[in-house]
A and B are shown apart, each in its own frame.
Chain A
């Protein structure tokens, strides 16, 4: 049974970047904005975090820089789609393509650099408890932050007035505007939050998961994060379950190879998307269910009527 601890640890590290990026996108989508640029924002966050950490030696600075970089990327998106009313799908795709190229350009000088991974926060005594100790109390702080973020988002959406307003804007922007809420401002903030979290997810990859920079190192995790939000039908609790399930699948893929089980790796990397498609089919067969959580205005440009 000694494999349980390392296995669980890898599941947690594989799930955390998904959870970070997806929880940001959840807020963005709840406001009615569909930002398909998560992959690009994660990559830019990853290289920025890595570059700043490598040059300054401070992981904290690196993480902050990644958050700022992700936010700036989302601001490009927000300006194009919310202010200039560009099509959200096309702009999001462009943002991803831009992020891939831009991060590769900036990162070309950092390939092969090595940095120390983020330290695990260990509590003397407790972290030494077998099995539970290292799993629950031996992670780096971004793991705890990702869980805290989801709890915070749940509280925000279900309990707070600001969350109610955010959902209202995503549900019917014309109604929200008529009552007197600033749809564009709220969507800017939600999009920026999504960018910040994607940047953080990227930083987790390059600073903790694999403390190095490689071109295109997110390897589709941004897309999985997007799929996760739909998979979770826009509910934070299911988002955690989904992120850990997808994390588990990606780790099993490695372990299956190690154990000599010949499942094609492509099949395993396909599974998250397959699961999402299946979930989409299931929920669309009962549209009343999805309707209650899906933001009705998602992807639609808002122009205040005269």
Chain B
């Protein structure tokens, strides 16, 4: 018994603690690096749903999301963007920017049933006209206008809701598999969430 105690006492506990600490710190560092790249440089997202149909596959597509451009204000008309849904902040949606400040957007109100169209002027601040897009807002629409809930329904969205610009589709199946594994190990991976679009 005393032999066991002596062996226990003779163990280099201090070194164990030191190596455990350095190992943990290294892991933490790696996770931090992943987070920073994911949140501020680029990340991947799996898109599903019918609202961007000709662009994004119905069965789901992996896209690369550029996180730098929206921050620098380099989002222009025609860009597909990832944005926080104005109706539910826990959801991310993908839409295409159709109108920015200074544009007039004409769209079909209910393309499935009628030809009625409506025009909104995406201009600077004018609180008197309700349909007008206030300053700093953008008009977003899904590519599949028959099955998309977008600015036609909830109005223009503030630019601040845009969290990424989509710049590459299907970066290779291998990469996706690799990333889905990474998601499994990454304990706090909000960026790899599945992006469901409103149908």
A and B form one complex: no
Interface residues of B (CB under 8 A from A): none
Interface residues of A (CB under 8 A from B): none
